[in-house]
Amino acid sequence: MENALYYGDNLEVLRKYIPDDSIDLIYLDPPFNSKATYNILFKEPTGKPSIAQIIAFEDTWHWTEETERTFQEIIKKAPVNVVKMMMAFRDFVGINDVMAYLTMMCIRMLELRRVLKDTGSIYLHCDPTASHYLKILMDTVFGKENFRNEIIWSYAGGGIPTKDFPRKHDILLRYTKTKTYSFKPEYKPYTTGTIQRGRTKIKGKYAQKGLRLEGTPVNDWWIDVPKITSPTDPEKLGFPTQKPIALLKRIISCSSESHSVVLDPFCGCGTTVIAAESMSRTWIGIDITHLAINLIKWRLKTQFAKEPKKDYRVIGEPVDFAGAKELAIQNRYQFQWWVLSLIDARPYGDKKRGADTGIDGFVYFMDEKDKIKSAVVQVKSGKASVKDIRDLGHVIDREKAKMGIFITLEPPTDPMKKEALSKGYYKSPTGEEFLQIQVLTVKEILEGKKPKLPPKLDSFKKAKRFTPNTENLEML
């Protein structure tokens, strides 16, 4: 098995691509009930948080026709004990968002159990909102005899309520597929007092053995892994569900070997992938948005002192014009985000303005000291006309941008090309001249053509970088 990123619904990907008994370790952090839309927030060049919030997916699950079909599939095909539990859930919980979540998680849990090796482990990360339901679900799918730990990840930071105790922990449910599984404890240093005192007589027969050289085993409550909360945290990429790399490293270290395959079916900003890559594991990441896939590719490229040898595949992204057209038909927003990734543009969406502002993305550049400038990007998946080019010119003026990039799926007409040329050139302080409106087709970009721009700034916030084959970190 090889490293791979999959764009698409993880249920479909699991069924189509992942063989039985092929995964050593699964980590998943399925979003639920945060009462917020999950967005990727792109850092502005000034370092301030972006006002642009690109909707990646909503973390609420609703009971729809698809959910009902999925529930009926479970009733018809799942093991008897799973069917009984899901019917009991439906009677007790009712037809609502919680039941929709449990239904969609159940069908995926069955697939995750199928792909997990007999010696494998699965860690489900959740908050107390749904952890009790999910534990019952996992007891049913994996067997309560294969429950290993309820790990409490406790942390500080964030708000403090006045009418409740502060909610400052997440839960990780650890299960195995069988009673024969891989596990290697992690140790932490003894306290100074313990070292001075040694093992006391109260330890009985263990008192004679003395203290372990490796330290004391980490318990099932983790208070030594800080949560990413501060805007200035060097790990923070702006992805609300992002977990610290130390958390994933502990899980991977304890429940896998160097030859193991690690799977994250809700990989989001890719922390599991990055941790697995840094620890020489084979990894598989799945996500339903091109924003996430692009962010992970960017992290793989920039977070290692030496970029991985391109020894990973990306499955589900268009590789030719026919695939691009199909994606545009399926979902025009995903199409836009994918196209923007091809030219390293920063996706843009402004809820405050509401209506279409004529901006799908920005490219930032700096061609003179301490002056950050921008090029507006528009992506058209349908028919385009000379009016669109003229409108882009107005957007450039309104936004005080220096240039505009117009990317179209269909070939531009001659009037469109003439209108773009009529806008003239942006004269850079470096002496170079660039067409102020540049028109490119998706086909041209796939064939290697890029907009002609001054040196660009990075689209994503830079995070920590790994030195190859070590656990050391350094800042980019």
Outline which parts of the chain fall under CATH 3.40.50.150.
Answer: 3-182+219-315
Outline which parts of the chain fall under CATH 3.40.1350.10.
Answer: 321-446
* Number of neighbouring beta carbons within 10 Å of residue 226: 15
Closest residue by Cα to residue 302 from 414, 171, 457, 407: 457
User: What's the rounded Cα separation, in Å, for the pair 154 and 173?
Assistant: 14
Radius of gyration of the chain (CA): 25
Q: What pTM was estimated for this model as a whole?
A: 0.82
Pick the CATH number of 321-446 from 1.10.132.20, 3.40.1350.10, 1.10.3720.10, 3.30.428.10: 3.40.1350.10
| Percent of the chain's residues with pLDDT above 90 | 59
| Percent of the chain's residues with pLDDT above 70 | 81
**Tokens 């892994």 found at:** 225
Convert the pLDDT of each residue in 256-299 to its tens digit: 999 999 999 999 889 999 999 999 999 999 998 888 888 898 88
H or E element, residue 298: helix 290-302
Contact 40, 239 (CB under 8 A): yes
Convert the pLDDT of each residue in 319-357 to its tens digit: 899 999 999 998 888 899 899 999 988 888 644 444 467
User: What's the rounded Cα separation, in Å, for the pair 352 and 56?
Assistant: 17
Q: CA separation (Å) from 200 to 37, 213, 215, 356?
A: 53, 17, 16, 71
CATH architecture type of domain 3-182+219-315: 3-Layer(aba) Sandwich (3.40)
- Per-residue confidence (pLDDT) for residue 58, from 0 to 100: 57
User: What's the rounded Cα separation, in Å, for the pair 191 and 86?
Assistant: 47
User: What's the rounded Cα separation, in Å, for the pair 41 and 378?
Assistant: 19
pLDDT bin (cut points 50, 70, 90) of residue 148 is: very high
Q: Work out the widest C-alpha separation in the chain, in whole angstroms.
A: 91
Residue at 346: amino acid letter: R
- Provide the token pair at 428: 């850079």
Per the model's pLDDT, the better-predicted residue between 350 and 449 turns out to be: 449
